Amino acid sequence: MNPFALFEDEPDEPDGIPFVTDTHRRRFVALLIDTSWSMAATQSNGVRAIDALNRELARWLPTVRAEGRGPLRDVEFVVVTFGAGGVKVVSGGGTSAEDGGAFVPAARLDLPALVAGGATPMIPAVELALNLVEQRRQHVQTVHAQQTGGPRLILVSDGTPTDEEGNPTDDWRRLARRLEQWRSTRRMQLFAFGVPGVDDEVMRALATPSGYFPLADLDLGKLLDLILVATSDHVDFDRVRSQVYGEDLP
């Protein structure tokens, strides 16, 4: 799969051009990564899933930064993990969305090594991401008088939502209603990628059947490439679905 074939009709931006210009819309992408205890499990190749993820992230991030000087020049990322340590913002220099502390331009995206463990507080993580994106959107529009594109959430999980103590929760039903309101009023899109072990009912409810992409295995390299595809301003669910499943769309 060549994830960058989708960007070939967009002009590259020289390295010396500032990330944000008055002629571009700023876009906000929230990446939510499950780092719960299941990611500490050893795979069939003898490597822990979290170690494989960190290795693939090290390969992936330079590509994101390179695209941040071209097709993704207007994208700001916020990366939220849920699992070890609860819900955490691991991008930027802090949790303030108004001044961009939680966000970082794609051209400067970097992440610490992720650690696996704990429960699966997926619902608080998504709610935090929604709040951060909305605060940042309002700040950019009112303080900087810049246009913003529809926000995009990208959710990756291999489990079932729990509270912070690991108890099962059905708070995802309430969140699904909130997400539906966001879709209708803010042009938000949620791309949800589920790897084996995930609760399909929950993911479909949050992302709608169109925005949920169950993966047959934990191919982290492919998954990260799909995440990069899903950040493009011109990609819809069908385009991502064709990247996941080829011509045989489920």
For 208, residues 6+ apart whose C-beta sits below 8 A from its C-beta are 183, 190
DSSP string, 162-198: B-TTS-B--THHHHHHHHHHHHHHH--EEEEEE-TT-
For 169, residues 6+ apart whose C-beta sits below 8 A from its C-beta are 123, 161, 162, 163
Task: Tell the burial category of 83 from Cβ atoms under 10 Å away from its Cβ (0-12, 13-18, 19+).
Answer: buried
CATH topology of domain 31-245: Rossmann fold (3.40.50)
- Of 191, 196, 123, residue with least CA distance to 158: 196
Tens place of pLDDT for every residue, the chain, 250 residues? 433 333 333 333 333 334 344 446 889 999 999 999 988 888 767 888 899 899 999 999 999 999 999 989 999 999 999 999 999 999 987 666 666 689 999 999 999 999 999 999 999 999 999 999 999 988 888 888 888 888 899 999 988 999 888 999 999 999 999 999 888 887 788 999 988 888 999 999 999 999 998 887 767 888 888 888 888 766 667 777 777 767 554 4
Q: What is the DSSP letter of 12?
A: -
Distance CA 142, CA 25 (A): 14
Residues 172 and 160: beta-carbon distance below 8 Å: no
List alpha helices for the chain, DSSP H. Answer: 49-67, 122-143, 172-186, 200-211, 220-230, 237-245
pTM value is 0.84
Name the residue ranges covered by the structural domains of the chain. Answer: 31-245
